[in-house]
């Protein structure tokens, strides 16, 4: 197990209340030994004007997953801040929900790298993102 902080899905979902995470409907759904998953609806909150999932919403899902996972891999007063995020949008999504799957690529004492892959309801790969964080 990579997590250094004890938590539950309920606690993670409570953290999202009253901020962008809750506003976009992001819900943590799985906390595995080495991965974290969350879903996000594809609706008026997350679509661009042409009815497609907004690329920025996918990046919010990716950065949310990576930042929370990064925090769970720290101890004490350490915090995690994003340094760089990039995303490749592979397939359009018009409805339903998407699921983000986050795994560590590198867990260092000063920085971390996270791989986040996002899938549609048909389990088709829609977006791949990479987040680099600093541990402060």
Consult the annotation and say whether 109 binds a ligand: no
Considering the domain boundaries, does residue 4 fall inside one?
no
CB 3 within 8 A of CB 73: yes
**Residues classed as catalytic:** 63
pTM beyond 0.85: the answer is yes
The answer to the question of whether 110 is labelled as a binding residue is no
Q: Is there a domain that residue 115 lies in?
A: yes
Q: Is 91 annotated as a binding residue?
A: yes
Q: What is the mean pLDDT of residues 93-109?
A: 97
Is 45 known to sit in a ligand binding site? no
Residue 2 lies in a domain: no
Average pLDDT for the chain:
97
Please state the rounded mean pLDDT for residues 108-129.
97
Report whether 18 belongs to an annotated binding site: no
The answer as to whether 3 is a domain residue is no
Per-residue pLDDT reduced to its tens digit, 19-71: 999 999 999 999 999 999 999 999 999 999 999 999 999 999 999 999 999 99
| Burial class of 110 by CB neighbour count within 10 A (0 to 12, 13 to 18, 19+) | exposed
Please report, rounded to a whole number, the percentage of residues in the chain having pLDDT higher than 70: 100
- Provide the Cα torsion 110, 129, 72, 84; round to 10°: 30
Residue 75's domain spans which residues? 9-135
Please report the pLDDT score of residue 85 as a whole number: 98
> Domain for residue 1, yes or no?
no
User: What span, in angstroms and rounded, lies between the C-alpha atoms of 133 and 136?
Assistant: 9
How many domains are contained in the chain? 1
Looking at residue 100, its pLDDT comes to 98
CATH code: domain of residue 13: 3.10.129.10
């Amino acid at each position: 197990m990579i997590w250094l902080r004890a938590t539950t899905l309920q606690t993670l979902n409570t953290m999202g209340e009253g901020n962008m995470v809750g506003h976009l409907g992001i819900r943590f759904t799985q906390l595995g030994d080495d991965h974290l998953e969350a879903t996000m609806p594809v609706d008026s909150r997350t679509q661009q004007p042409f009815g497609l999932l907004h690329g920025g919403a996918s990046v919010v899902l990716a950065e949310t997953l990576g930042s929370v996972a990064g925090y769970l891999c720290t101890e004490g007063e350490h915090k995690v801040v994003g340094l760089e995020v990039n995303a490749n949008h592979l397939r359009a999504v018009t409805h339903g929900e998407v699921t983000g799957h986050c795994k560590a690529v590198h867990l260092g004492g000063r920085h971390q790298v996270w791989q986040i892959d996002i899938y549609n309801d048909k389990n088709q790969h829609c977006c791949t993102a990479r987040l680099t964080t600093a541990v402060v």
